[in-house]
Structure formats: C-alpha cells, structure tokens
Amino acid sequence: MPSQSPDLVIHIEPWESAMNLESFYQRVINPPSPWTVSKVEISDDSTRVDVWLIHQEHYRFSCHACRTPSPTYDHAPERTWQHLDTCECKTYLHARIPRVQCPKHGIVNSDFPLADSQISITYKMESKCIKTMQASNLTDASGLTRVSWDRLESIRDRAVKRGLERRGDTTPVIMGLDEKQVFSRHRYFTIITDIGNGSVFDVVDKRRIDDISPWFEKRKESLQNVQIAAMDMSAGYERIASNFMPNAELCFDHFHVMQVVQKAVDSTRKQEQATMSDEDKKSMFGARHDFLYGRENLPDKNKARFEKVRQIAMKTARAWAIKENLRDMWTTCPDKEETPKYFKHWYWWATHSQIPDMAKAAHTLKNHFCGIVAAIEHGVSNAPTEGLNSKIEAVKRSACGFKNKESLRNAILFHCGKLNLLPEAAN
C-alpha cells in the first residue's frame, strides 16, 4: 500500500467535527446576530422540523417604530413562523420577541429580523409564496408551497399594499383609461394603465363618472403631470380628463377609432340581412365575421365565400370598403399635415354613402378628430391597455371567481401592476 503524502493536510472546522442539528440549522437558517439556534426537534413521522431561536443577553434591540436601540423590558409570548421546507419537511421557527423600553414610544415590540411579528410566516417563505403565485394560480401555488388558499390570499393582499406604498404618489406621464366587464350583469371596472411601462396603475370600481371621480379628486395634484391620456371616445372619460388632467392631450388611438367603424359595418350587415331571402340570409350569416377582417387578414379559405357574399350584400360591401379606406389613413399618410386632407375625403364619402350607421360613425369621428390626430402624432396606442385586459381575463379564469371586488382588484394589481412586492428583508 502506498503511504499517504506527508504534505497532505485535511483541515476540519470546529463546527464540522461536532456537527449536530443545532449547528446544522444555525448554518442553514443563518439568523443574524444576536440570534442563534438553541434547540431543534423533528417529529416522529419526519414530516416536521421545529427550530427554537434565542438571543444574547443584554443586547439592545431597536424599537420597531423608530429604530432606536433600547434596553430590553421583557419578552412577548412565544411566536411560531412557517419557514422554507427542509428536505421536504415543513419547518417552523419559534422565538420570543423582546419588548424594549423606547424613550419615545414606551414599551413596544422590537424588530425580529427573520419575520414580521404580525404574520405567521418568515420573510423568505413569504417571498417564495409571492414568486410562486406570480408563476401559477392559487390552487397550484397552494400545492407547491403547502400554504392554504386563505393565507396565500392574505400574503397577496399584503404584497399589493406594500407595493402601492413603495410606489408612492407617482402618476403615469402617459395614462390609459378603459372599461372592463369584471362580473356578470354588466358590472364594470375602470382600468387605469401606465402605458409607458405597460402596467395596470390602478383599478376603480364601476365606470360612471360620479363613481370614479373620487379616485381622481384624491390625486388631483399629481394628475397635473399627466401629459397624454389615451382612451375610447366615451363622454365620461373625456370629462374626467378635462376636469382632472388639464395638461394632458387626449388621444383616441387606432383601435378605438376602428371599433366605431366596425360597429357601423356590423349594424349595416344585420339590417341588410333582415331583408334578404332565406337562402341569401344563410350565406350572409356564414360570412358575418368576414366583414370584420382587414383585407390582408382575411383567411384564404374564406375569400371565395366573402367575394360571393359581397355581390349579394351591396350595402354591407360598401360599408366594408369605407371601413377599409379609413384603415389606410394610418399607413398612407406620410405626415400629420396630410391626415386632415385624407380624413376630409373619407368623411365626405362616409356621409354621402346613404348608409345611416356609417354616416353616424363618421360624425362621431369628426367630433373627436383632434384626439385622433394627436394619437397619430405621438404614436400613442391603447393597445397595451387592451393587452392588459386580456391578461386580466386570464387572471379571472385561473381564479375561478373572487370573494369580492377588492379581492379581484388586488389580484389584478398583483399580476399586472409591476409593483415591488417582495418583503424588504427577503430582497
């Protein structure tokens, strides 16, 4: 057997030579000074680990309100917090939080560095729950973290409150306003978006001006900083912008402009279809969605059917052509000076088309033309808001319902608000 080299030296740390559960968890949990692990117990079925922490004597802890180091007065009763699992064993920390005699606030609890004394999970576990909920729905998050639905909802609501407080009174420079049906029977939220970073800024119950005005009244001073407000052409949102955002330029983007004309085309189709023979009605009904496509987006398999129906429904076909001509305004006008000329010609065609719904749509767009030009000039689109509406719909479906409107609001802000949600001690 070859002899071991005399130069080989194996260095063993003192804690390694006498490794036990306490020293192991001291390294795993790594509590900051003056806290140390004093005792560890594992349940008989090896599914739970309990860890007790104690602190050095005569240590001056900080008042949780003003952070002033103060002498220890006594200790609160023992508290328990759920921590990150250890080898698939649920792990709980136990400690008695010192109460200090603060010269300013009297006898109060001190800070505990691993958890908030108001909740029953540690900062690291709270952070894991937040990240898991962001990546999945509540059902999956509950299974992955082994935390109940109710507690996860409480963590989510607490995280949203924390994120809103950190965001402060800042207001988006480019703000989007849109309505979103959130419950059945035409119950709506007003979704306020920060178009600049593509996030939901806030959610306000209902959409009537009297219902949403208090939200804007409360922030009237900061709303002076809004430079652009993108919205649909509802009179209510225009009044809100006029009353509370005097420095904002109204923008009516491509999506909402075309939505007005699309509705005119569809209404014309329904009226014309009602006067047709049964055979033509059947053909028209089958092609009803084709008139809502742009010419370049019409599926190849539908083109032959669409051309056939255009010969049957002459008025609807003319309305569709007027709609398509308006779409070209965003691509064929080289600059904003050409846009009024283009719109003037389109407006004459639409109002002289002998199609009442199209003429009505043209008058609506003329009354909002300044906002349409502003949207083209600034390149502003409410598409991010519409995209967020789709994400909100996904949040609704994954949750399979909410207890109340406040719970839905918190879920929307949690998933779509781009808030700083993690507890500070876990960052």
**Starting from the edge strand earliest in sequence, which strands make up the sheet with 79-86, in order?**
35-42, 48-55, 89-95, 79-86
CB 35 within 8 A of CB 113: yes
Q: Which residue has the tokens 């559960």?
A: 21
pLDDT of res. 286? 86
Q: How confident is the model at residue 186 (pLDDT cuts 50, 70, 90)?
A: low
Residue 184 has pLDDT above 80, yes or no: no
Whole-angstrom CA distances from 116 to 57, 113, 128, 191 are 22, 8, 15, 32
pLDDT of res. 21? 87
Q: How confident is the model at residue 381 (pLDDT cuts 50, 70, 90)?
A: confident
Of 7-11, 299-303, 373-377, the range with the lowest mean pLDDT is 7-11
CB 63 within 8 A of CB 119: no
pLDDT of res. 10? 42
pLDDT of res. 130? 95
- pLDDT, averaged across the chain: 86
CB 223 within 8 A of CB 321: no
Instruction: For residues 198-208, give the mean pLDDT.
Output: 87
CB 196 within 8 A of CB 173: yes
pLDDT digits (tens, 9 = 90+) for 343-364: 999 999 999 999 999 999 999 9
Compute, in degrees rounded to 10, the torsion defined by CA atoms 335, 337, 342, 345: -170
Q: How confident is the model at residue 216 (pLDDT cuts 50, 70, 90)?
A: very high
Show me where the domains of the chain are located.
15-120, 254-378
**Highest averaged pLDDT of the listed ranges 60-69, 299-308, 341-350, 375-384:** 341-350
**Global pTM?**
0.81
pLDDT of res. 69? 87
Please work out, in degrees rounded to the nearest 5, the angle formed at the alpha carbon of residue 320 by the alpha carbons of 319 and 325.
100
Instruction: For residues 389-399, give the mean pLDDT.
Output: 76
Instruction: For residues 69-85, give the mean pLDDT.
Output: 90
